[in-house]
Structures are given as C-alpha cells and as structure tokens.
Chains A and B, each alone.
Chain A
Amino acid sequence: MKCIDFNGITKQYFVKGKHSNGKITAVDNLSFSIEKGEIFGLLGPNGSGKTTVVNLLTGLLVPDKGKIRVLGLDPLRDWKRLRYSFGLVPQESPLYPELNAYQNLEFQGALYLKSLKEIKDRVEHILELVELKNRASEKIKNYSGGMKRRLAIGKALLHEPEIIFLDEPTLGVDVQGSHRIWDYIKMLARQGKTVLVTTNVMSEAEYLCGRLLIIDSGNKIAEGTVDQLKSSLGKEEIIIRKKPSLDDVFLHYTGRTLRD
C-alpha cells in the first residue's frame, strides 16, 4: 500500500484584488504517490503550490477535485485517527517566543499525548535529539533561526508520527544548521518514517531526496530520481557543462522568470 496517494487533485482559491478578481488555481490535476520510508521532495518556485499540497495532505484544506489518501485514510473524514499519524513543520515555525523550549514542547505534548509522564519522557528525548538540552530553559526569542527550526522539527516528532511533512525546513538557516537538519531528516528515514520535504533549495533536494516532483503553477513538470531528472536534459546541455547540477535541471523545467 502506498503511504500517500495524491490523485487528480485540483484546488482553487477565490481572490479579489486590483489586478485579479476571480479564481487562482493553486493545484491543477496533480497526481503523485509516496512509498513508506521514502524521502520525497516537492520542488517548485515561489507560489507554485507546494504549501497548498502539504495543507491538502494534512486536511487543512479541502480539494475541489480528486482523492487524497494518507495511510489509506481520508484526511477529511478520518481526521481523528490520522492526526496522530503525521507531524507538520510549517514554513513559519509555530513557537511561542515567551516560553522556553521545554514549555513549548510540553504544550505540544498536552495536545497529543495522554499522560504527564509520557510527555516529560518524550520532551527529554526530543531535546536530546535536536541538541537543545543545554539551552532548554532559555526563552525561544533568544534562539537563532537554526535552533528554532530544530525545535520546530522536534515539536513535530514529539508524538512519534509515521509521516513528517516539512515545508521548507531550512528556510533562513545557515549552512551548518541546514546540514544538521538534513542529518535529522536522513535519520528519520532510516527509522522507517516517511518524509515529504518541500523546498526550492536544489542542494537540499539533491542531498536528501530519493525522488523528486517538480511543480510550477500547480502543475506537474517532472518527476523522478535526481539522476533520472538530470538525464532528462538534452545532449546540448551536457556539451555546455560536463556535469549539470540540479539547479540546471530546475531552471530548465521552470524557467528563469521571477514569480511575484
């Protein structure tokens, strides 16, 4: 059984504005699937629909057409069961700056776990995992961007979900912090968890992901492993550079135009 099945999904938003008055299609008849234990990358420029896909998978949005199955369950109908099965790290870290790391994790534990002992044990474990144990009593507003991101990942892992959705996990994080976060993600996959990562950082996608889906304006552009995508470029590209980077692949499929 596929872990995630995203089948023929269309999602439109109604917008009113000076330059637009009508519908914007965020996702247009998009289909993909993810196997259990896979790190799957969703690549796209800004506004391509990556966050919309994640929100649809978690049940935060309702699709206009199509069918979504997560662990064989419908995120809209079976939400009570499914919410224990996945964790989300949104683009903006949901952390309370006036609380410390311990208090942030405790509150998250109260939303998911059953007993106080279980909460305390898991909080200690997560602080060890994300290497914030020695700074756990400091308020989050004093944390660096990388520390906040690591804590946000820790929050998503607190209830031991099977699936992790990470929406641009290294946004605003320096190189060292990014590499540490990548290590966590790799470790999650080794533990058998299924990971969906959205990103527009090519090196991140190249390092982490087994398979990738490139989308633009809600449409599937290309799908495959990193090597398959690189091989899909024509001979003339190879003449220019001996070894095209994933950046080259991405720009080939999505173009260089700014998305504003």
Chain B
Amino acid sequence: MKRFLLILKTELVSISGSVPFHIIALLSPVMFLFIFAGDLKQDISFPVKLAETIPVKQNMKEEQHTAEPNSAQFESNRKTGIKKHPVPYSGFFKFLLSGYKSPMGTPYFLSGGKLSPAEIIEVKPVIKTDNQLSGSLILKIKDVNANTIKNYRNRLTGGISAYFAENFSGRAIRINEKRVYRRDPSWVSFFASSILVFAVLFCGFIFGSLAFTREWKENGMVMLKLSPVSSFFLLGGKIAGVFLKILTAVVIYLFLSVYAAGEFIFYSAIPSIITGCIFAAPIGMLAGLYFKEHLVSFIFSLVGALTLWVFGGGFGTSISMPDWIRTASGLNPVTGIVNSIRISYFGGSVSLTDYLYPFITGILAFFFLLFIYDTTIHRPARAVKTKKVN
C-alpha cells in the first residue's frame, strides 16, 4: 500500500513539470463559464418568425398590434411598417402575456414596463387572409435569469402556436408541457452545471495523458518496461494520482463558479463527478500511451472533451436536433453524465442508465488500458522461434 502511495505521490509532484497544461485544464472551463454567463447577462433579443411573409393584397384585412386603430400611431405605423413601442394588451399579445401559462400556473411572459424582465418591442404587421397568417415579433428579454430558461424559444413558439390553435380552427398544433426538472434554473446555473462535465472530461483526458507523455519524454518508459511490479499495481497508482488531480480541479472550479452562478451548486453531483472521472481518466491515459507527446495529447484532450460534451447535451438537450445528432447523443456516455448532474441539482427523475453507461464504459477502458500496457510495455515481446546454435 505504501509503495502504491509512492507512485501516487510521484504523479502529484510531477505537476510542477507541466504547469502550463495543468493551468489550461483548470482555467478553460472557468473561462467558458464566465464568457457565456457574462454574455448572457446582457440584454438579448430573440426574433421569432411565424411564417414566410406573403404579399399584401388589396382585399386583405390588416391587423396592427402596436396602436389602436384610427389613432395617429396607427397611421404612422401603417406608413412605415415597423415601430418600436411597448405593446398594449390586445388580442394575440394579451394571450401571450397572461393567457399562456406554465403547468404551475405562472405566466411565462410578464407584463411590460420598465421593471418588466421581458418586453415585446417590435412587431411587423400580421396579415390575415382567409387561411393564412404571417408576421414576426421580437421579444426582448432584459433579465435572462428571471424570465427565461433553456427552452425559452419553445415557450414563445408554444405560446404563439397555442394562440393560433385556439383562435383559428384547423390548426393542429398542440403544446404539451413536459417538465424535465423540478425547478427552472437560471441560465447561468444551467450552463455552470453543464460546464462542470466539460471540466471533468478535459481534466481527465489531459491529466491522464500526462501520466504517460511525461514518461515518454523523460525516458522513464525504459524503467517502467524493466520494472518487475505488476501492470495493475503501476496503473492503479497512476490512475489514483489522475483522480486526485481531477477532483482538485473540480473543487477549484466549484468555488469559482459561485461567483458566476451565485450559489454553490454541486453538493449532490458527487456521484456524477466520480462517474466522469472513471470514464475520462483511462481514456486520457490511453491517449498518452499512444501519442507520446504533450502537445498532441493536449489537442486530443481538447477536441475530444468538446466533442463529447457538445454531443452530450452540453449546450442543451438534443430533442430539437436532427436525427443523427440525437442518435450520436444516445450513444454518447457523456450524455448520461450531463443529465445526471443537472437532475442532481435541479431535481427530477434520474435514470440509473445515466450513471451505469459511462461507468461501465470507463471500467472497460481501464481494462483495455491494462491489456495494452501489459502486452506492449510491461511484458517482453513474444520471442520468435530461435535456431539452436551448434
């Protein structure tokens, strides 16, 4: 056991030999978080196009929603087409503002005004013919955290679709609200939880690969090849060192994420984090064993972690994505880690598969690593049949 700790200790002390890589591994997720959280704390506007605009014909009835008919404002809008005004409550927008509600009874879109977190600011005329409607509106969301969640676009689209379904017969649109999480998280919290998965992946790949690229670089591989200790013992010590480094990086990330998310949010995510470590560390070590160089391993770690994370639902679920992305997401073990971390914090039903799939994949990766290391490094190559010399 104490010899095992010596191998583990060497892995930790070796950080000083590759400080830049460790810093990048630690800072990259933090930078992601602050960039995206900082960006989205500013005002954002989401244009929603209902349908293609059709040419106005003389016998069409025109509806204006920016001012009462026959008012000066109405005349002005008719001439210019577009005006930016707070929208009074009439017809379609009244429905959006008060009529369309979450299953909990809370209106999605609060009333306008200076203190309102959202405001419909721009409307193009809605042209109604016998059987078609077209137009566009822009919803300005002034506070991302207060009035929107990850499926904001679906909510607005859902509201518009529900209005048409109620008021215009023949529209076969149904909106069924399915809550994934027990509470609606703010955008920053939602993204911070997702970035944590990226942090675990990226750190696991980099730290895992450094465990072997360091040996290749310093000619330590010769001594490992000649060592009589078992491959399992040696790999166990190295992977334990990688785990410790990942967990240290995660703890640092958690404290830094408090400043972005405003809350310490991952106390219940420990099983997901550990599952992520078990998945990422052996894959990183395999990469280090194969690529042999720090820089190549770093590029692999960055590209690999980003790809797995994005296709694992890092920016949002794949529900509205094309089929091939949904298939890739289903096959991706990281999807389960992302899901389980979000549910661990925001509440909801966790699936055992979310943990088991990446866990089993990680265990298989470790045994594959053990096999490759044992047969190509630890044991001498198989001898060819030698001729007896007389």
Q: How many residues of A contact B (CB 8 A)?
A: 45
Question: Considering the chains assembled together, what is the distance between the CA atoms of A13 and B113 in angstroms?
Answer: 80
Question: Considering the chains assembled together, what is the distance between the CA atoms of A5 and B389 in angstroms?
Answer: 12
A98 & B17 in contact (Cβ 8 Å cutoff): yes
A116 & B383 in contact (Cβ 8 Å cutoff): no
B380 & A79 in contact (Cβ 8 Å cutoff): yes
B227 & A96 in contact (Cβ 8 Å cutoff): no
**With A62-B382, A88-B226 known to touch, is A93 a contact of B10 (CB < 8 Å)?**
no
Report A-chain residues with C-beta under 8 Å of the C-beta of B16: 98
B223 & A99 in contact (Cβ 8 Å cutoff): no
Binds A, one of B97-105, B194-202, B214-222, B342-350: B214-222
B6 & A109 in contact (Cβ 8 Å cutoff): yes
Binary interface encoding of chain A residues 86-117 relative to chain B, with 1 for a CB under 8 A from any of its CBs, else 0: 00101011111111000100111111111110
Question: Considering the chains assembled together, what is the distance between the CA atoms of A52 and B9 in angstroms?
Answer: 34
Interface centre among A80, A93, A96 (most CB of B within 10 A): A96
Interface centre among A63, A99, A111 (most CB of B within 10 A): A111
Report B-chain residues with C-beta under 8 Å of the C-beta of A64: 384
A98 & B13 in contact (Cβ 8 Å cutoff): yes
Binary interface encoding of chain A residues 1-43 relative to chain B, with 1 for a CB under 8 A from any of its CBs, else 0: 0000001100000000000000000000001000000000000
Question: In chain B, what residue has the closest Cβ to A55?
Answer: B222
Report B-chain residues with C-beta under 8 Å of the C-beta of A88: 222-223, 226
Q: How many residues of B contact A (CB 8 A)?
A: 36
Question: In chain B, what residue has the closest Cβ to A63?
Answer: B386
Question: In chain B, what residue has the closest Cβ to A139?
Answer: B16
Q: At the interface, yes or no: A145 with Cβ under 8 Å from chain B?
A: no
Question: In chain B, what residue has the closest Cβ to A83?
Answer: B228
B228 & A80 in contact (Cβ 8 Å cutoff): yes
Question: Considering the chains assembled together, what is the distance between the CA atoms of A228 and B284 in angstroms?
Answer: 56
A96 & B386 in contact (Cβ 8 Å cutoff): no
A111 & B223 in contact (Cβ 8 Å cutoff): yes
Q: At the interface, yes or no: B295 with Cβ under 8 Å from chain A?
A: no
A108 & B3 in contact (Cβ 8 Å cutoff): no
Q: At the interface, yes or no: A242 with Cβ under 8 Å from chain B?
A: no
B381 & A113 in contact (Cβ 8 Å cutoff): no
- Identify whether the interface residues of B are mostly helix, strand, loop, or mixed: helix
Q: Which of B4, B219, B234 is the one whose CB lies under 8 Å from A90?
A: B219
Report A-chain residues with C-beta under 8 Å of the C-beta of B384: 62-64
B2 & A115 in contact (Cβ 8 Å cutoff): yes
Q: Which of B2, B3, B14, B381 is the one whose CB lies under 8 Å from A98?
A: B14
Within 232-256 of B, Cβ neighbours of A (below 8 Å) are at 234, 237
Interface centre among B15, B225, B234 (most CB of A within 10 A): B225
Question: Considering the chains assembled together, what is the distance between the CA atoms of A155 and B219 in angstroms?
Answer: 13
Q: At the interface, yes or no: B79 with Cβ under 8 Å from chain A?
A: no
Question: Considering the chains assembled together, what is the distance between the CA atoms of A196 and B389 in angstroms?
Answer: 23
Report A-chain residues with C-beta under 8 Å of the C-beta of B6: 106-107, 109-110, 116, 119
Report A-chain residues with C-beta under 8 Å of the C-beta of B13: 98-99, 103
5 closest residue pairs by CB, A with B: A98-B17, A8-B389, A116-B2, A111-B227, A110-B6
A-B residue pairs in contact (CB < 8 Å), sample of 30? A7-B389, A8-B387, A58-B226, A60-B225, A61-B381, A62-B384, A63-B384, A64-B384, A66-B386, A67-B389, A74-B383, A76-B382, A79-B380, A80-B228, A88-B223, A90-B222, A94-B218, A94-B219, A96-B10, A96-B14, A98-B13, A98-B14, A103-B13, A106-B9, A110-B237, A112-B229, A114-B3, A115-B2, A119-B3, A119-B6
